[in-house]
Amino acid sequence: MAELLLGPLLRYVDASCATVWVETDAPCAVEVAGAKADTFEVDGRHYALVVIEGVDGPTEYDVRIDGDVVWPEPDSPFPPSRITPLTGDTLRLVFGSCRKPDGREWGPDALAAYALRLAEAGEWPDALLLLGDQVYADETSDAMAEWIAQRRDIGEPPGRQVADFQEYAHLYREAWSSPAVRWLLSTVPTSMIFDDHDMHDDWNTSASWRADAARTSWWAERERGGLMAYWIYQHIGNLSPDELAADDTYRAVVTADGDTAPILRAFADSAVEEIEGRKNTRWSYRRDFGPARFLAVDTRCGRVLQEPRGMLSDAEFDWIEANAEGDHRHLLIGSSLPWLMPPVISHLQSMNEVACRRPGLRGRVAEWVRRKADLEHWPAFRRSSDRLARLINRAADSGMTVCVLSGDVHHVYVAEAHFDQPTAARVFQLTCSPMHNAAERFLRPLFVMAWWRPLARVFRWLMLRSPEIEPLPVEWTKLHGPDFGNTIATLRIDGDHVAVDLERARGDSDRPRLEPLPTIRLN
C-alpha cells in the first residue's frame, strides 16, 4: 500500500470549495472529504492536489489512500483536521516569513508555537500567508547535509547546499514534517510566495549575479530543480480550481501517462528566460478573502535584470494594476521584500542603483556593494517602486485601506505611508520576519539607526543631490519597531477596522509559546 510522505496541506479555500495537497511514496488514488484525485509522478516522486467542491460549513476530514485512512495519524494529540469555508466580513490572516527547520540555535519557532496554541485553544484564523524563505536551499541543516552526503560528494560544489530536484523534495519534507506545523498546515488554508533562500541568497540580485551563477557547474540544475519543486510544493496550491483547470502546465502534468519530469523541466527553463523585458511565467497570484483582496507579488523570479531594471516586467505590473481594482474595502499586497524600508537603507539603495549604471570602476564597485550588502529591495528598483507607490496611492484614494505585508529583513516593524495629497484611506507597511531564524547581532543596532530621523534626512539630502534620482513619491513614519526575535503577526479586519497583533516566541524549542507584543490599531 502507498504511504503518505508529506501533507495533507490545506491550500486554497473559498466559500464552497478547497484544495488539499499530499505527497505519497507510490502511485495511488487519494480521497479527501469525498473527493478523489490520482497522483502524478515527477522524477519518481508522487503528488496529488485534491479539489473538493460543495463544502457547506466547517468540515472535518481524513485522508484515504486507495480506500485506507492514512491521516490523521494514530494517537495524534491534535484536533481533527478541518476545512472551514471563508465567509463573512471579518478576517484574520496570520503571516510571517523566514523559517528554518528545527534548530536550537535559532530559538523557539514562532510558527510551531502558534500551532500548539491553536491546537489547545484560540481564535481560528481564516488563512496563513507564508511570505518567503519557506526553505533554505543555500543554508541547509546538519541533518540535511548528512542526507546530501549520502548521495554525492559535498566536497565538490555546491557542497552542502541543495543541488537538484530530489534534494529540494527532501528539503521541503524536512521543513514541513514536524508534528505541530504539519497539523497546522493541514487545517489552516495556506498561501505562499518564494524569496531568495528558497533558491539561493541574492537570487536575481542583478544581471551580473546571474552571469556569475551561470558560469558555475551546478547553478542551472539547482535553479531548474528549485522551480520544479516550487511549482509542486507551493505554487499550484495557491491557485483556485478554475485557475488550475485553465493552467496549461497543470493540465499537461495531471493528464500525462508516466513521469512528468520532462514537462516540468522544460517549464522551469522557460520560466527564467528574459526576452525583451518580459518573463514567460507569472508566479504572482490573486486571492479574495471576504472584504479584502490579496495580491501576492513575485519579487524574485519575475525580475527584469537588463536595463531598464525592474522588480517586475511591465506586463506583470499591468496584471497587478488590473487586479488591484475592484469594490473590495481592503487591498493587501504580499511582497516578500518590504516596499517601505528603514529610510536610511531605502535612500542608500536608490543611490546605489544609479551608481551601478556608471561606466568603469565606479560602476563595478557599486555593483559589488549591491551584491555584498543585499541592496536589492524595492528602492533598488526605483522605476518599479515608484510605480507601486502610484498604484497604492490610487487604491487609497478610492477608499481602500492598503496594507503591504512583507518579511525578509529579520526584524519587525509597522510604518504608515503619506503621499503629497491626503488619501481617502490609510496605507501601511507591515513587516514580520523571521518566524524561525535570527538577525545577526551586529546588524541590530544598524537597523535601529536606519530609522533615526536625523540620519535619514542626511541620506535623503545626499540622494537628492543626484539629478538622476527623482524625489520619492511617498514618505513614511514608523509606528512600531524595530523588534527582533522569532515573531508571527495576525492581521485582523472587521468591517472598516484594521489592526495587527504581533507575538514573539518564547520558551524552549521543545515547547515554544507566544508572548504578545503591542497590538497596533491601523484603522
User: Which residue(s) pair with 333 in the sheet?
Assistant: 295, 404
Task: Give pLDDT, residue 497.
Answer: 95
Rounded to an integer, what distance in angstroms lies between the CA atom of residue 8 and that of residue 120? 20
> What are residue 329's phi and psi, to 5 degrees?
-80, -25
Helix (H) or strand (E) segment spanning residue 416 = strand 412-418
For the stretch 208-265, pLDDT in tens is 999 999 999 999 999 999 999 999 999 999 999 999 999 999 999 999 999 999 999 9
Question: Nearest-CA neighbor of 60 among 105, 104, 10?
Answer: 10
Which amino acid would we find at residue 70? V
Residues 6+ apart with CB under 8 A from 330: 291, 292, 293, 400, 401, 402, 403, 493, 498
Local mean pLDDT, 10-residue blocks, the chain (523 residues): 96 97 98 97 98 95 97 95 93 97 86 96 92 97 96 97 98 97 98 97 95 96 98 98 97 97 98 90 96 97 94 96 95 98 97 95 95 95 97 97 97 97 97 94 92 94 91 95 96 96 91 93 93
Place of cell 481533527: 80
Question: Nearest-CA neighbor of 329 among 286, 290, 295?
Answer: 290
Rounded to an integer, what distance in angstroms lies between the CA atom of residue 316 and that of residue 294? 16
Task: Give pLDDT, residue 30.
Answer: 98
Task: Give pLDDT, residue 104.
Answer: 76
- SS3 state of residue 328: coil
Q: What is the pTM of this model?
A: 0.96
Task: Give pLDDT, residue 16.
Answer: 95
For the stretch 283-327, pLDDT in tens is 999 999 999 999 999 999 999 999 899 999 999 999 999 999 998
Rounded to an integer, what distance in angstroms lies between the CA atom of residue 265 and that of residue 221? 9
Alpha helices by DSSP H, listed for 256-359, are 261-271, 314-324, 343-356
First-to-last CA distance in the chain?
A: 54
- 19-50 burial, b at 16+ Cβ within 10 Å, e below that, comes to bbbbbbeeebbbbbbebebebbbbbebbbbbb
Q: How many CA atoms lie within 13 A of 347 on its CB side?
A: 21
Question: Regarding the domain with residue range 280-506, which homologous superfamily does it belong to in the CATH classification?
Answer: GpdQ, beta-strand dimerisation domain (3.30.750.180)
Helix axes 343-356, 360-372, angle to 10 degrees: 140
Residue ranges per domain, the chain?
Answer: 280-506
C-alpha cell at 151: 548521495
C-alpha cell at 67: 480506500
Task: Give pLDDT, residue 441.
Answer: 86
Task: Give pLDDT, residue 249.
Answer: 98
> What are residue 518's phi and psi, to 5 degrees?
-60, 145
Question: Nearest-CA neighbor of 491 among 415, 432, 424?
Answer: 432
Rounded to an integer, what distance in angstroms lies between the CA atom of residue 125 and that of residue 493? 11
Residues 6+ apart with CB under 8 A from 425: 395, 396, 398, 399, 400, 401, 402, 523
